[in-house]
Amino acid sequence: MSRATFPRLSDWHIAAVLALFGLAGPFLLPTLATQIAFLWLMVVFALTWDMLGGRMGYNSFGNIVFFGIGCYAAAVIQRDAGLPYFEGLALGLAAGAVLSVLAAIVFGAAMLGIRGHYFAIGTLGLGIAAGEIAAGWDYVGAGSGMALPLYPGELGEREIFFCYSLFALAACCFLLFRWIYSTRFGLALNAIRDDQDKADAMGLRTTPIKIVAWSLSAFFLGISGGLAANMIGFIDPRDVAFAGATFGVWMVLMAILGGKGTLWGPVLGAFVFHVTQELFWTWLLGWQRVALGLLIVLIVVFFPQGIMGWLAERRARTAS
């Protein structure tokens, strides 16, 4: 079969393969269940960042704030509500989602009127400030952090539970965003990215649209924070909840690596980045951060359009 006639996989073929991996992976690879769970967390990170950075053109370094709010909301509810584990977890996840959305509305109303580098720097300051506030607040453990309740199930069930929970969250996030991008709201996001002044002149209420987009991202990040905190078992204010130097940067890198502003780019970028990172931590112990730094440089220099953009260019050359 010639290259020009090689069949292309549809979205549903790819989705079916990922769904099969999500459902069977924890049982086929039980020793890697935690790593698979973190993979789905990375997918949520990349998808939620791409709604702002890729679809709307607002590069945020403050999305980690909503993840941290979700971490602490779940931990405090589970600690103080006196409920059994799963009831406390469900209530904590709901509280994290609600508080994250409220924070996005407040921060969005204050910050989404500015653009470009000013917005990026402002959101970076949000993440740093949130980490320092949590590190000095005794109610949430201050710099000592918070321990989460122990999972009540059998040995090994905990990893599988959070693996499936984060897989379900990533699937819901992807499907909802896929639908949103096909609606008029999705077109409005692209209009803001392409030329906000023209979008304003055409009568689009750009600031409310931007706030809604940030709130949607915050909703999923709030839930993911509660799940991740319980999976890790401990919240450190700077290294877990508001880990801007790791999670906060990785969100951006994964979307760029895969191809920001595309449907599958953030998912692909999350897979490639997470697998590469795990290989670094396995085979380059002691040098893993150096290798990760070099990977970041390679992504920015050689893949500015992302893997999806690179594939599109190759496909266009082949077709011509």
DSSP string, 257-308: HH-TTSSSHHHHHHHHHHHHHHHHHHHSTTTHHHHHHHHHHHHHHH-TTHHH
Cα 282 from Cα 270, distance rounded (Å):
18
Cα 57 from Cα 85, distance rounded (Å):
40
Percent of the chain at pLDDT > 90 equals: 67
Range ranked top by mean pLDDT from 26-30, 76-80, 198-202: 76-80
Mean per-residue pLDDT of the chain: 90
Q: Work out the burial of residue 299: count CB atoms within 10 Å of its CB; fewer than 13 is exposed, 13-18 middle, 19 or more buried.
A: buried
Neighbours of 286 (CB within 10 A): 6
Say whether pLDDT at 7 is over 50.
no
pTM of the model: 0.92
| 3-class secondary-structure state, position 10 | coil
pLDDT for the residue 320: 64
Say whether pLDDT at 9 is over 70.
no
- Which DSSP category does 146 fall into? E
Tokens of 137: 């607040």
Say whether pLDDT at 3 is over 50.
no
Tell me the three-class secondary structure of 45-65, residue by residue.
HHHHHHHHHCCCCCCCCCCHH
pLDDT for the residue 130: 95
